[in-house]
A and B are shown apart, each in its own frame.
Chain A
Amino acid sequence: MSSLGPDLPGPARLPTMKDIARLAGVHQSTVSLALRDNPEIPAATRQRIRAIAQQIGYHPDPVLDAFNLHRLSSHPLRSAPAIAYINDGAPTPAGAESAARRATYAGARDAAARLGFVLDRFFVGSDGVSPARLNRILHARNIDCVIIVSFSRAIAELPLRWDGLCGLKIESFHVQPAFDVITPDHQEAARLALAHLRRLGYHRIGMVLTRDEDDRLRQLPRAGYLVELQAETAPIELLYLDETKPSDERRNLAAWIARNRLDAVIAPSDRILTPLRQAGAAIPADLGFACLDRTGCDDQVAGVDVNHHLIGANAVELIAMRRRINQRGTPEDTSITFVPVSWHDGASAPFRPHPHAVSAHPRAAGA
């Protein structure tokens, strides 16, 4: 630019939204919405308005901003935005909920409070509200953020009018539409359990799970298990508990342990402990045990700690950001956030300096 001579026009009036509106041929409220990226304005219009704004050098007036801020801050509670937190199944009384579910909810609620949101909890499915009714409720209450939380395999889709909504899932990989997912790092949990059990002196570690868990967790625990077992010379079978009749469960467990010469077992939850004991396994004398999510287990149980509170908090933080920048509707691409896990030593898997076999090749060692 050349020198700022006196022939330049004096400090002109700053361009306003009205100027942009005149140039764009729209109402000034449209300009206001467009500059805030409101999805109700067509994307093409938003782009055009932003281009005009840039062309004429519009920027928000800081003093007006200050006034607006002042005005808004004097009645901040008039309508705190709400986030719908959606579980499936029947509404459960707080005391009857699983520890994991309680912790996730508490994490979400704390983060919501910190960020100036309120959390509205709903239960959908055959025992809860229908999607159609949920749609009406969300609309009536002006709720535009929805978090789908740990749905069971019974619900494959949550058909809401997603266009104006910000959506996110905690676990619930299988639920359509596809949104970003926040989940415990199940794969890492399995790897961590195997690594620590080996450190503690276990060599033949079996995994028992159900097909339902395997599908619901998108095979992640199994993937971690298989990767850790790659170097194993004598293969170890997986046991799917729901593939046998309940009446055969004990016999199958006992046979599986004997056939694979297991000295430890890992499983997604500690529900398996009772059937294992009924099958004649003395834990931890004969068989070590570790659980892939210790939440709600007693201190004796070795295994992996999962920070469900953090998962709930992460979900709320992410959805609050998405709402702020008006990133709504079903996304074109999705991410998975794997929240880290950690190991917890417990009496169910004590240190075993000299187990039954002394090497990773029990057949050779046992000879």
Chain B
Amino acid sequence: MFELPSSPASTAVPDGPEERESARHVTLKDIALKAGVHFTTVSLALRGHPSLLPTTRARILEIAGELGYRRDPVFMALTSRRANAQTPHKVCRMAFLTDEPSQNSFDRASHMRYFYDGARRQAERMGYTCDLMFIRGQDFTPDTLEVRLRNQGYEGVIIGAFHLPNTRIVLDWERYTLVKIDTQFMEPDFAFVSNDQMHAVRLAWQQLRQRGYRRIGMAVGRYDEIATRDLYSAGCLIEQAGLPPEDRIPPLHFDYADRVQEADPKLRAWVRQYRPQVVVSNWSEILSMAVATGLRVPEELACACLCLSDPDPRVAGVIQNHHAVGRRAAEMLAIAAKSEQRGIPARPAAVRIAGRWQDGASAPGIP
């Protein structure tokens, strides 16, 4: 860093030091007058700017030393604050976009709420704010989104687990730093954070085997496989790889449009054909679906859910850490914003958060 020539005490200035003390401070303009340059040149010279000739700079510094120029600390503090305040305050607002139609439906979807809570808390911890924004409200169209983000000074945007494929947003991407929660395949391709579905399958598998289950079957939505690029299958394949062939039950896939009433008969037929001791599923209704097969649950057919939001003593399975997903999304956004990474990245990263196992009555283990 640039240092001014030290103490003016030894320089030969007509006025004595006592008199000078009471006089007004030496300013850039005084130096400029004496050096015969413009005061902006003095400013550049004192900051060691490379655009000046070294000889000019040296001459101005010498004059500054002679006159006893010193930076005004209060003024410096203020300008330094003003200059630095730009950085943290410029990108301090994050918007968490949701395509839930209303606050009510948002509140009912506990995982959405947890995503948002996690993001907001982490944002606040980092000195940001994170506001929830509904993009399907009555007063909202895709065009107004851009206007609203811009006018209210949002520069970080979290796309909060949109319901595919009906939602599309278009923004002037270059203005924003973006992170997605889930929705990996919604265009454009941004870094995204999600629960670790492959880990969930593997964790469930290992826990169930520890509890004595040998014939484990997986039933998941085909849509969820597509949305995660087969992460459920990947977990299943890895866990089945070491098993004897007769214990490798092919996964059951529910179709995209299936509701419980369409899925029930499929599950029943699959259970009859392959006789699993336990079924793991990413459907939260899996317990009632298992009961609907007509088998005694859990004695004849146990079950575990891969995506519990909260502990439930009736259901064994993997509790997904939605708060952590939200936290990590806010954190990625802050890091990207800090280094001014905006727009659509060339190759975005994927972040996945592990869930944890929770025992429950639906899979008590085989004695």
> Which residues does chain B contribute within 8 Å of A19, judged by CB atoms?
none
The residue that B331 contacts in the complex, of A69, A226, A318, A338, with Cβ under 8 A, is A318
Residue A325 CB within 8 A of the other chain: yes
Are A337 and B351 closer than 8 Å at their CB atoms? yes
Shortest Cβ distance from B328 into A: residue: A335
Bound together, the chains give a CA A320 to CA B124 distance in angstroms of: 17
Which positions in B face A, CB cutoff 8 Å? 1, 73, 76-78, 80-81, 84, 125-126, 193, 196, 198, 230, 233-235, 237-238, 241, 321, 324, 328, 331, 334-335, 338-339, 347-354, 356
Q: Is the interface of B mostly helix, strand, loop or mixed?
A: helix
User: Given A114-B339, A333-B321, 4 other A-B contacts at CB below 8 A?
Assistant: A63-B78, A185-B350, A227-B230, A334-B354
The residue that A69 contacts in the complex, of B73, B77, B126, B237, with Cβ under 8 A, is B77
Bound together, the chains give a CA A62 to CA B230 distance in angstroms of: 52
Are A70 and B81 closer than 8 Å at their CB atoms? yes
Are A227 and B234 closer than 8 Å at their CB atoms? yes
Shortest Cβ distance from B235 into A: residue: A223
Bound together, the chains give a CA A92 to CA B136 distance in angstroms of: 58
Which positions in A face B, CB cutoff 8 Å? 37, 62-63, 65-67, 69-70, 73-74, 76, 114, 185, 187, 219, 222-224, 226-227, 230, 314, 317-318, 321, 324-325, 327, 333-340, 342
Are B348 and A340 closer than 8 Å at their CB atoms? yes
Are A70 and B230 closer than 8 Å at their CB atoms? no
Taking the nearest CB of chain B, how far is it from the CB of A135, in angstroms? 27
Bound together, the chains give a CA A4 to CA B362 distance in angstroms of: 62
Taking the nearest CB of chain A, how far is it from the CB of B74, in angstroms? 8
Taking the nearest CB of chain B, how far is it from the CB of A277, in angstroms? 29
Taking the nearest CB of chain B, how far is it from the CB of A172, in angstroms? 15
Bound together, the chains give a CA A73 to CA B81 distance in angstroms of: 11
Are B324 and A70 closer than 8 Å at their CB atoms? no
> Which residues does chain B contribute within 8 Å of A37, judged by CB atoms?
125
Bound together, the chains give a CA A69 to CA B84 distance in angstroms of: 9
The residue that A230 contacts in the complex, of B196, B233, B338, with Cβ under 8 A, is B233
The residue that A66 contacts in the complex, of B77, B126, B356, with Cβ under 8 A, is B77
The residue that B80 contacts in the complex, of A62, A69, A314, A317, with Cβ under 8 A, is A69
Are B196 and A336 closer than 8 Å at their CB atoms? yes
Q: Is the interface of A mostly helix, strand, loop or mixed?
A: helix
Taking the nearest CB of chain B, how far is it from the CB of A146, in angstroms? 18
Bound together, the chains give a CA A180 to CA B208 distance in angstroms of: 26
Taking the nearest CB of chain A, how far is it from the CB of B3, in angstroms? 10
> Which residues does chain B contribute within 8 Å of A325, judged by CB atoms?
125-126
The residue that B77 contacts in the complex, of A70, A76, A324, A335, with Cβ under 8 A, is A70
> Which residues does chain A contribute within 8 Å of B351, judged by CB atoms?
335-338
Are A66 and B335 closer than 8 Å at their CB atoms? no
The residue that B352 contacts in the complex, of A63, A65, A324, A338, with Cβ under 8 A, is A338
Are B234 and A187 closer than 8 Å at their CB atoms? yes
Shortest Cβ distance from A68 into B: residue: B77
Bound together, the chains give a CA A222 to CA B84 distance in angstroms of: 49
Are B237 and A333 closer than 8 Å at their CB atoms? no
> Which residues does chain B contribute within 8 Å of A334, judged by CB atoms?
353-354
> Which residues does chain A contribute within 8 Å of B73, judged by CB atoms?
67, 70
> Which residues does chain A contribute within 8 Å of B352, judged by CB atoms?
335-336, 338
Shortest Cβ distance from B230 into A: residue: A227
Are A65 and B335 closer than 8 Å at their CB atoms? no
Taking the nearest CB of chain A, how far is it from the CB of B346, in angstroms? 9
Q: What are 10 A-B pairs with beta-carbon distances under 8 A?
A: A62-B81, A66-B80, A69-B77, A76-B1, A224-B234, A227-B230, A318-B335, A335-B328, A335-B351, A340-B347
Taking the nearest CB of chain B, how far is it from the CB of A192, in angstroms? 11
Are B238 and A314 closer than 8 Å at their CB atoms? no
